[in-house]
A = this chain, B = another copy of it.
Amino acid sequence: MHELDTPTFRLAMAQFDQAAEAMELDPNLRERLKLPQRSLIVSVPVRMDDGRVEVYTGYRVQHDSSRGPTKGGIRYHPDVNLGEVAALAMWMTWKCALADLPYGGAKGGVAVDPKQLSRAELQRLTRRYAAEIFPLIGPEKDVPAPDVGTDAQVMAWIMDTYSQQVGYSVPGVVTGKPLSIGGSLGREEATGRGVVYVTIEALRHLKLDIRNSTVVIQGFGNVGAHTARIMQECGARVIAVSDVNGGIHNASGLDIPELLTRCKTHGQSLRDTK
């Protein structure tokens, strides 16, 4: 299918073929799992603040729903295309299945640079995109989540658009929404916590103990900062962190909570921290 033929999708296909080969997957199943079940492309006309109508292209791909409702983020990025979205949807199927969650994989996106839009334009884009994919999503069908370029606010708009269409509030139509309308505690730190869990499991394989380990972390944004804090809580000694602006090192261990407070209070980046 030439519509999916992009480098990302070719990569996902190659990985799939390799895994299917290794597990001697039944050829019939292989055929069915290779391509996404449903791919929807929608035009998203948006009235810009200056009165013009700009038309963006939106996507929603559901790779496989045989294990339950599909689940996957929505990405706003100028390079989004069908092949990329389809590859990410397929990876969501494997992620959910490996974690034994009763979900299939999906992914969506709009080819747009959200930083070029005003907040009002972003809202109109999101609401129109949500209205167009409405027949395919729902708490028992397909549940979006934030991804690159989208956040809790975007999820709130999607939830509100969906809720207006059915006539009552439906919090289950998205995850990653704000706490005040039913979002989950701990979601912000969830990726960092996942990094720690995976690290601990890897150490167990290597017969190492996190409590005797020293840790160096590259990146100190949402993921890296939470990783550093949780690593330390688990007993590791975090001796260095860095971000795009610089790094900080202390062989006897950094005081991560103090570092976080300083960054937050003074708006400092790591460069300004000594």
Contact = CB atoms under 8 A, between A and B. Distances in A.
A67 B167 contact: no
B135 A167 contact: yes
A92 to B, nearest CB: 15
Contacts of A102: 171, 182
B169 A132 contact: no
Contacts of A180: 67
A27 B50 CA distance: 14
A79 B165 CA distance: 31
Nearest to A38: B42
Given A35-B43, A41-B3, A53 B28 contact: yes
Given A37-B132, A132-B38, A45 B68 contact: no
Interface string A64-75: 011111000000
A31 B45 contact: yes
Contacts of A35: 43, 55, 57
Interface stretch (A136-144, A255-263, A264-272): A136-144
A1 interface: yes
Interface residues of A, number: 53
A112 B136 CA distance: 26
A164 interface: yes
Interface in A19-63: 27-29, 31-32, 34-43, 45, 52-55, 57
B40 A3 contact: no
A93 interface: no
A84 to B, nearest CB: 11
Given A32-B45, A165-B165, 8 more contacts: A2-B81, A31-B54, A35-B55, A36-B41, A38-B43, A69-B169, A102-B182, A135-B135
27 contacts: A2-B81, A3-B3, A3-B81, A3-B82, A27-B52, A27-B53, A31-B55, A36-B43, A37-B42, A37-B43, A38-B40, A38-B41, A38-B43, A39-B41, A41-B41, A41-B82, A65-B168, A66-B169, A67-B181, A68-B169, A68-B182, A102-B171, A135-B135, A135-B167, A140-B169, A165-B165, A165-B167
Interface of A: 1-3, 27-29, 31-32, 34-43, 45, 52-55, 57, 65-69, 81-82, 102, 104, 111, 131-132, 134-136, 138, 140-142, 164-165, 167-171, 180-182
